[in-house]
Amino acid sequence: MEQDVLKTEPRSEVGKGAARRMRRGGRIPGVLYGKDLPGGRSYPLTVERKSLQSVLGKGEQVVMAEVSGGPAAGRHQVLVREVQRHPLSSEILHFDLQAISAEERIELRIPVELKGTAKGQQEGGVIEQHIHELRIECTPQNVPEHIVVDISQLELYGALHVSEIAAPEDVKLLDLGDTVIVSCRLPQEEEVIAPEEAPVEAAEEPEVITEKKEEEKEPAEKEE
């Protein structure tokens, strides 16, 4: 499968002020790092916002990064390791690219795709998907677009676990085997509970304060 190419440029300016200027100009600051890069160090880069958005929109995690100049100039196969976004606007603020080799085994998350109609659905059950991504380990050329989970044999009140999933060739599942991916159960009817009515307490008579209540009066002294 042909990989997307991110055309990047080296940058010399660093800091928040420089990053804001780059973003105003339609470019996103980032960094490229990897043990096989010259000097084994990291290199600051920028990439056109639309180009990065296009790659991320396709869900691609392993792409080619083309660096236009500097010590890291050339094409590098990279893993999109991290993308930082603004917490409110979701605007892309920064990205990390990890240069990888063809033989290197990498860890990443892959979407789960459910396939088929569960037996339990024919009995009125509904499907509940508990996790939507799986952690995997594989080589770059064998990264699957998704992990297919066949639910056709899933019965009512049944569940499928990670240990029951057949991973593609060269792919190792890293999540715990007893992790539930999907289950089938009857829909729960919402029980309408009427609000409890507070007991109506009898209005208390106002207490009339006298010199002393009868029970509070001093006992009469006995005559000797």
Comparing 95-99, 179-183, 217-221, the range with the smallest average pLDDT is 217-221
**81-101 per-residue burial string, b: 16 or more CB within 10 A, e: under 16:** eeeeeeeeeeebbebbbbbbe
Q: What is the pLDDT of residue 207?
A: 47
In three-state form (DSSP H/G/I as H, E/B as E, the rest C), the secondary structure along the chain is CCCCEEEEEECCCCCHHHHHHHHHCCEEEEEEECCCCHHHCCEEEEEEHHHHHHHHHCCCCEEEEEECCCCCCEEEEEEEEEEEECCCCCCEEEEEEEECCCCCCEEEEEEEEEECCCHHHHHCCEEEECCCEEEEEECHHHCCCCEEEECCCCCCCCEEEHHHCCCCCCCEECCCCCCEEEEEECCCCCCCCCCCCCCCCCCCCCCCCCCCCHHHCCCCCCCC
The pLDDT confidence band at residue 29, using thresholds 50, 70 and 90, is very high
Say if residue 116 is in the same domain as residue 97. Answer: no
Mean pLDDT of 106-111: 94
Residue 173: give the domain boundaries. 107-185
Say if residue 95 is in the same domain as residue 113. Answer: no
Note the pLDDT tens digit of each residue in 131-178.
Answer: 999 999 999 989 998 999 999 999 999 999 999 999 999 999 999 999
Residue 91 has pLDDT above 80, yes or no: yes
Output the domain CATH number for residue 141: 2.170.120.20
Q: Among 72, 101, 130, which residue terminates a domain?
A: 101
The pLDDT confidence band at residue 102, using thresholds 50, 70 and 90, is confident
- The verdict on pTM exceeding 0.75 is no
The domain total for the chain is: 2
Structure tokens at 146: 């998704």
The pLDDT confidence band at residue 56, using thresholds 50, 70 and 90, is confident
Residue 36 has pLDDT above 80, yes or no: yes
Q: 73, 110, 79, 108: which is closest to 96 by C-alpha?
A: 79
Mean pLDDT of 112-125: 94
Question: Mean pLDDT of all residues in the chain?
Answer: 85
Is 63 part of a structural domain of the chain?
Answer: yes
Is 123 part of a structural domain of the chain?
Answer: yes
Residue 218 has pLDDT above 70, yes or no: no
Say if residue 29 is in the same domain as residue 90. Answer: yes
Q: Among 101, 116, 148, which residue terminates a domain?
A: 101
Comparing 78-92, 169-183, 191-205, the range with the smallest average pLDDT is 191-205
Give me the percent of the chain exceeding a pLDDT of 70: 83
